[in-house]
Structure formats: C-alpha cells, structure tokens
C-alpha cells in the first residue's frame, strides 16, 4: 500500500471522482488529486467548508453516488436537532447553504448543494433503483420515504416522519458469536443494537440465489438484501427486504439460525461499513479496536477504567471479501480506458458498483456521440436497471428527449415508471405531463407516491386532477397524505374543489385538517369556507365532531373562528358563520338535554367552548 494523503482532519468518507477522490474531513469536504503520477495527492481543493466537527462519531460522512447524478452524504447527527445553525460554504460557486442537521446531496463540479431528509448517523445508502436508507445507533435501517426538497414546498402543513423504519427501531436484538461485552450503562441493551452503522443494500446476484433474476426483464420488483454493522457486538446482521406499500419491511432470514450472517468471536472485530464490491462480493470494513465506544458516552467510572485502552488498535484494520465458496471468483471488469459502447454495455451489469462507475464516466464525457448511443441502448436493452441508468444519464446530460421519457412512463417495470415520473418534473410538454399523471391509477404504491410528490412541480391542471385521484385512493395512508399536501399548493383551488365537490367521500375526512391549515396560512377564506361547509354537510352526529376538530385545529395554529368572521370583509365566510350559529344553538340544546346520548352531549359541550356567546352553557352542561 502507499500513503495517498495525510494531515487530514479525521477523514471518514471517500469516493473516487474523475481523476481524484472526494473526502469528508469535517469541517471540510475535499477533492484530492495526484497530478504527477507518483501515487500521492499533490493537489488538495476544498470544495465545501463549515461542517460541524464535534464528536468524531457525529460528523458528516458517507459519500455515495446517486442514480440521479448527485453525490449524497450523511450529516452524521444522532438526532434531528444535532448541528442546528450549521451553514456550509461552497468554494466553487461562493454560495452559503443552511444545512442544520439534515443530510445533503451535492454536485462536485458546480458546487451546488441541496439539503435532504436526515440525519443518518454513519452511512447513507441506496438500493439499485434510487431509494435511500439510513441508520442510527438503535435503528438498524430506515427508508427515506419523503425527501425534504418536496416537503419544504408547503410550510403550512406539518408532515408525518419522512422516514420509515424497515427494521424495527428501539435496539432490536442481534445474535453475536462473541461473549457479551462489559457495559457501563444501558444494561438492558446487551445483545441488542446499540451501534448500528455502515449499512448497505447488496447490489449483485452472486451471493443469493433468491435474487438471481433481479436484473432480468421481470416486471416485478425483487426482494433485496440489507446488511447493517453492529461493531459493539462484533457482527453484521442480514435482513431480507421486501416491498411493503410506499416503503419496505424486513425480516432476518430463518436459515441463519442463532448467529448473525457475519459474527466474530474476536472481541476486537469491529465491522463499521459494508459495500458491494466490483467482484460481486460483500466487502466488510473492520475497524479492529479494543473498544468502539467514544469516551463521551461513558460514565466517569467507565472512562477511568478504559483510559489506558482508548487507542488500542489504531494501527490496525482490515477488509473482508465475502464470496461464494462453491463458485470461482469473478474477474473484475477494468473500466479505465473502456470505450463508450463498453461503458454503456456495463449499465446492464448485475453489479451495482460497475454500473454506477460506468454511469459516472459516461456523464463526464458529455459528448453527442454518447447521447446517440445511450438512446439506441435504451431501446435495445430490455434490462429495467439499465433503462433506469440510461434515462437518468440522459437527464444528467440535458438530453432526455420526450419519446424516451414517454416510453419510460409506460414501461412494464414499476421502478422504471417511478424514475420516469421524477425525471418528467422539468418537462413542460403537455403530453409528457399527461402521461405521468395517468399513473395516478397505477397498481404500484411507490409509483403513486412519486407522482404525488412530483405533481407539485407542474402547473398543468391535469396534475391537480391526479392529486385528487390519489387523495381518493389513499386517504388512510399518512405518508401519501403528506406527499399530496406537499404538492397541493400548486393546485390549491382545483384540489380543494375536487376533494369537497362530492358528498361524503372518505378523502374529505383525511384532508379537512391539512387543507384548513394551508388555507389559514394563505388567508384563503374561500377555501376555509369550503372546508367548514364540507363538515356541515355530514350527518348530525358526525357534523359536530368534524366541526369541533376543525375548531381545535384553528386553536392549535393560533387562529380563532370568530376573528376570521369579523375580519371577513369580502363575506366569503358569511354562510359558514350562519351555519356555525345554528350548530352552536343546537349544541346548547343537546348539551342541556339530560335524556340525550352522553357522547353527543360531550361533543356538544366541547363545541360550545368555542362559541363567543354560549360558553357558559358548556360549563353548566
């Protein structure tokens, strides 16, 4: 081995880029190059600066290539408030970005940076289709279901959590081969996840027969295999990941018995990162240390006892390659010097590392010949994975033409359709937008979720109509409701009319509260009236409950119904006010009626607490 670069500030992430490497070394993100061919970096460029330093376990890290032509990075925080107030500056474009605790993606060439949902603590990984996953000590694997860039469009409506725990959170159990290590706190977590990190979604068909067909022409998504490191317990756990609505669920394979997939009896073995290697093997980075826990997290007696051992093993470390014992090792394709047709052919490889690297190299070419060959390959190659790479590459080259985009929107594989919807966001072609919006009836929930997120990027009314259709189909899916509301500002009038234009749909109950919040924030009294009127149209018992919930929503955002009425110079709320007076009057009678149903009396009394004239009736009732 040869030392490529030294005197870096705790480097903890690396990605090859063009003729050099990107390195995370907070407070900087660097680009290092060897320009004279001696094997050592002689050029060091700071791309970004200002990242949070703090504890070494809580720094930005990861550096993973995204299929959408961005480089992604984990923020490193262990909770959402970590790093609040952090701003980073791009030296390439001179801009300063408010990062806070969120993960981010960036373009190393232009210096553009965008915040993402987060933070993941150590490692941010994606599957082969572009879905992202994160980890945190007690949470082995979650799926980023709702990207921050979409949610930020609607500041008026709170959302559900942007993540879904694929593997249950709260320190789920592990199966170590080593004896349990002495603990100084959190004794109940012995034998459970406490240091989850470095996860990956395996990206090849070499190790597991169950996914041999994953790169075939099958129109159905195949199960995936996730691996998460647990260095405190000297192991890597394997979970089988399957589609589950808008997200995923996972289970540990039954055939792995009482010990996890990779489990060492050596107490110094500290696996901290797993990756799919270019040979199809699973590569495991073993930090190899006497202790893995940072002294900051130890009580005083633990710090004192372990003080002599803090650095034991800092001169060690190793990488394992896990390969099938019954098959010959696969030769690694050499991409350096490969021709454009050879690189395009690699996009159909079963190996995610090779596909990603070929993708990058083709993106850097930026030549008309590359575009022409990619377009031919899209039609000639039936592999869904190859087609997903090709349409994203063409988009990165600003050369994704409408015929191919339309074809991708109609592809038989749902992950191709899902990617095509996202790529159609920048299109102004009515035919493309219409084709995307026709997928509001798609049978795949992830396709529908992407459409719910993307519809807010178009102003065409057909996108608003698609949102209404999705709202009617998925009123009981909170993630979908949040996605729809993130797009609703672009179609607010059409969307409200579509939801409340028919009597008694299930979607009305799901969208009353978020649409009221949004219309209050925008001072849209007409929609406020529409929302309340939809509640007034319900049966007598349901009406009282629905109106009370709306009044409670107003209270929660510091608004008052009576003040809205008084400030309604345009009289948009006139009829609503009259119907409210009638409801308060009938509620006063019901609350005072000792023979009425007790549940109805309680709701009536609650309603009267919002009445400017009949609060006393509620109290005496």
- Three-state SS at 602: helix
Helix (H) or strand (E) holding 238: strand 235-244
Q: How many residues are listed for the chain in this entry?
A: 621
Q: Where are the domains of the chain?
A: 523-621
Report H helices in 158-307: 300-306
For the chain, give the mean pLDDT.
Answer: 92
Average pLDDT over residues 296-302: 78
**Sign of torsion over alpha carbons 528, 530, 531, 535:** positive
135's CB contacts (< 8 A; 6+ apart) are 120, 121, 122, 123, 141, 142, 196, 197, 198, 199, 228
> Higher-confidence residue: 245 or 77?
245
How much of the chain, in percent, has pLDDT values that exceed 70?
Answer: 95
Distance separating alpha carbons of residues 66 and 135, to the nearest angstrom: 18
Distance separating alpha carbons of residues 519 and 170, to the nearest angstrom: 38
Q: Residue 117: its pLDDT value, please?
A: 92
Q: Residue 209: its pLDDT value, please?
A: 67
Q: Per-residue confidence at 503, pLDDT binned at 50, 70, 90?
A: low
pLDDT digits (tens, 9 = 90+) for 528-568: 999 999 999 998 878 999 999 999 999 999 998 888 888 77
> Higher-confidence residue: 20 or 570?
20
CB 418 within 8 A of CB 444: yes
Residue 212 has pLDDT above 50, yes or no: no
pTM of the shown model: 0.93
> Higher-confidence residue: 63 or 186?
63
Residue 213 has pLDDT above 50, yes or no: no
Q: Residue 214: its pLDDT value, please?
A: 44
> Higher-confidence residue: 503 or 139?
139
Average pLDDT over residues 238-253: 95
> Higher-confidence residue: 81 or 440?
440
Report whether the peptide linkage leading into residue 51 is cis, meaning its omega lies within 30 degrees of zero.
Answer: no
Distance separating alpha carbons of residues 600 and 320, to the nearest angstrom: 67
- Three-state SS at 513: helix
Q: How is residue 293 annotated by DSSP?
A: S
Residue 47 has pLDDT above 90, yes or no: yes
319: its two tokens: 């990488």
Q: CA angle 344-346-347, nearest 5°?
A: 70
Cα dist. 576→156, 525, 529, 562, 587 in Å?
Answer: 22, 10, 6, 11, 16
CB 111 within 8 A of CB 91: yes
Tell me which residue of 111, 95, 86 sits closest to 26, measured CA to CA: 86
Report H helices in 51-169: 148-151
The partner residues of 201 in beta bridges, in order of sequence, read 226
Give a three-class secondary structure readout of 358-408: HHHHHHHHCCHHHHHHHHHHHHHCCCHHHHHHHHHHHHHCCCCCHHHHHHH
CB 446 within 8 A of CB 420: no
CB 243 within 8 A of CB 254: no
Helix (H) or strand (E) holding 32: strand 28-33
> Higher-confidence residue: 594 or 355?
355
Report whether the peptide linkage leading into residue 119 is cis, meaning its omega lies within 30 degrees of zero.
Answer: yes
347: its two tokens: 């996009």
Strands across the sheet with 163-165, in order? 124-126, 132-136, 139-144, 163-165
Distance separating alpha carbons of residues 370 and 450, to the nearest angstrom: 29
Q: CA angle 557-560-561, nearest 5°?
A: 125
593's CB contacts (< 8 A; 6+ apart) are 601
Tell me which residue of 126, 114, 233 sits closest to 171, measured CA to CA: 233
Residue 165 backbone phi and psi in degrees, to 5: -75, 110
The partner residues of 237 in beta bridges, in order of sequence, read 228
Residue 248 has pLDDT above 80, yes or no: yes
How much of the chain, in percent, has pLDDT values that exceed 90?
Answer: 74
pLDDT digits (tens, 9 = 90+) for 467-494: 999 999 999 999 999 999 999 999 999 9
310's CB contacts (< 8 A; 6+ apart) are 291, 295
HSE toward the beta carbon, residue 105, CA cutoff 13 A = 18
Distance separating alpha carbons of residues 35 and 308, to the nearest angstrom: 42
Q: Per-residue confidence at 501, pLDDT binned at 50, 70, 90?
A: confident
Q: Residue 399: its pLDDT value, please?
A: 97
Cα dist. 540→372, 535, 544, 583, 594 in Å?
Answer: 65, 10, 7, 9, 18
pLDDT digits (tens, 9 = 90+) for 565-574: 887 766 788 8
532: its two tokens: 């309340």
> Higher-confidence residue: 79 or 176?
176
Residue 311 has pLDDT above 90, yes or no: no
Residue 210 has pLDDT above 60, yes or no: no
CB 153 within 8 A of CB 101: no
Residue 192 backbone phi and psi in degrees, to 5: -135, 165
Residue 67 has pLDDT above 60, yes or no: yes
Q: Per-residue confidence at 312, pLDDT binned at 50, 70, 90?
A: confident
498's CB contacts (< 8 A; 6+ apart) are 464, 465, 467, 468, 471
Distance separating alpha carbons of residues 118 and 79, to the nearest angstrom: 9
Residue 388 has pLDDT above 90, yes or no: yes
Q: Per-residue confidence at 96, pLDDT binned at 50, 70, 90?
A: very high
Average pLDDT over residues 165-171: 94
Average pLDDT over residues 185-196: 84
Helix (H) or strand (E) holding 564: helix 561-566
CB 142 within 8 A of CB 170: no
Tell me which residue of 490, 547, 542, 544 sits closest to 513, measured CA to CA: 547
Concatenate the DSSP letters of all residues of 466-498 into one string: HHHHHHHH-TT-HHHHHHHHHHHGGGHHHHHHH
């Amino acid at each position: 081995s040869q030392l490529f670069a030294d005197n870096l500030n705790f480097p903890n992430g690396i990605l090859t880029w063009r003729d050099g490497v990107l390195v995370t070394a907070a407070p900087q993100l660097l680009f290092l190059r060897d320009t004279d061919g001696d094997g050592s970096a002689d050029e060091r460029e700071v791309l970004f600066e200002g990242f949070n330093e703090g504890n070494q376990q809580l720094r930005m890290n990861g550096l993973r290539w995204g299929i959408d032509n961005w480089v992604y990075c984990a923020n490193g925080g262990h909770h959402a408030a970590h790093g609040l107030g952090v701003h980073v500056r791009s030296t390439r474009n001179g801009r300063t970005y408010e990062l806070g605790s969120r993960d981010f993606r960036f373009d190393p060439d232009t210096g553009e940076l965008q915040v993402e949902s987060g933070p993941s603590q150590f490692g941010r990984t994606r599957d082969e289709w572009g879905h992202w996953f994160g980890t945190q000590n007690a949470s082995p694997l979650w799926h980023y279901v709702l990207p921050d860039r979409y949610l930020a469009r609607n500041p008026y409506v709170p959302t559900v959590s942007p993540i879904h725990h694929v593997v249950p959170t709260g320190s789920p159990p592990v199966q170590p081969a080593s004896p349990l290590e002495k603990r100084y706190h959190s004794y109940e977590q012995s034998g459970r996840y406490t240091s989850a990190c470095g996860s990956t979604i395996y990206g090849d068909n070499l190790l597991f027969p169950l996914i041999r067909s994953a790169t075939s022409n099958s129109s159905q998504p195949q199960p995936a295999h996730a691996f998460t490191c647990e260095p405190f317990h000297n192991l890597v756990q394997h979970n089988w990941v399957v589609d589950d609505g808008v997200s995923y669920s996972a289970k540990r394979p039954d055939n792995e018995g009482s010990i996890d997939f990779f489990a060492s009896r050596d107490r110094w073995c500290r696996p901290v990162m797993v990756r799919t290697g270019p040979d199809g093997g699973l590569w495991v980075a073993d930090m190899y240390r006497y202790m893995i826990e940072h002294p900051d997290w130890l009580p005083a007696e633990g710090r004192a006892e372990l003080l002599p051992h803090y650095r034991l093993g800092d001169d060690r470390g190793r990488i394992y390659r896990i390969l099938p014992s019954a098959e010959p090792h696969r030769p690694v394709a050499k991409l350096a010097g490969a021709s454009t047709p050879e690189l395009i052919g690699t996009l159909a490889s079963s190996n995610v590392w090779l596909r990603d690297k070929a993708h990058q190299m083709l993106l850097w070419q930026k030549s008309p010949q590359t575009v022409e060959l990619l377009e031919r390959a899209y039609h000639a190659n039936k592999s869904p994975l190859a087609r997903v790479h090709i349409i994203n590459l063409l988009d990165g080259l600003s050369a994704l033409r409408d015929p191919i985009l339309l074809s991708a929107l109609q592809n038989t594989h749902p992950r191709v359709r899902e990617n095509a919807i996202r790529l159609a966001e920048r299109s102004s072609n009515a035919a493309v937008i219409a084709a995307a919006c026709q997928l509001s009836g798609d049978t795949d929930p992830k396709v529908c979720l992407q459409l719910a997120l993307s519809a807010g990027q178009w102003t065409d009314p057909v996108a608003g109509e698609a949102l209404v259709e999705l709202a009617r189909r998925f009123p009981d899916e909170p993630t979908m409701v949040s996605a729809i509301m993130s797009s609703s500002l672009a179609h607010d009038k059409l969307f409200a009319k579509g939801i409340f234009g028919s009597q008694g749909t299930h979607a009305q109950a799901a969208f009353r509260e978020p649409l009221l919040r949004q219309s209050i924030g925008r001072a849209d009294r007409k929609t406020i009236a529409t929302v309340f009127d939809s509640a007034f149209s319900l049966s007598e018992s349901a009406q009282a409950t629905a109106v009370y919930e709306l009044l409670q929503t107003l209270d929660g955002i510091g608004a008052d119904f009576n003040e809205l009425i008084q400030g309604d110079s345009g009289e948009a709320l006139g009829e609503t006010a009259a119907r409210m007076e009638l409801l308060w009057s009938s509620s006063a009678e019901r609350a005072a009626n000792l023979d009425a149903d007790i549940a109805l009396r309680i709701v009536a009394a609650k309603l009267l607490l919002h009445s400017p004239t009949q609060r006393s009736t509620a109290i005496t009732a």
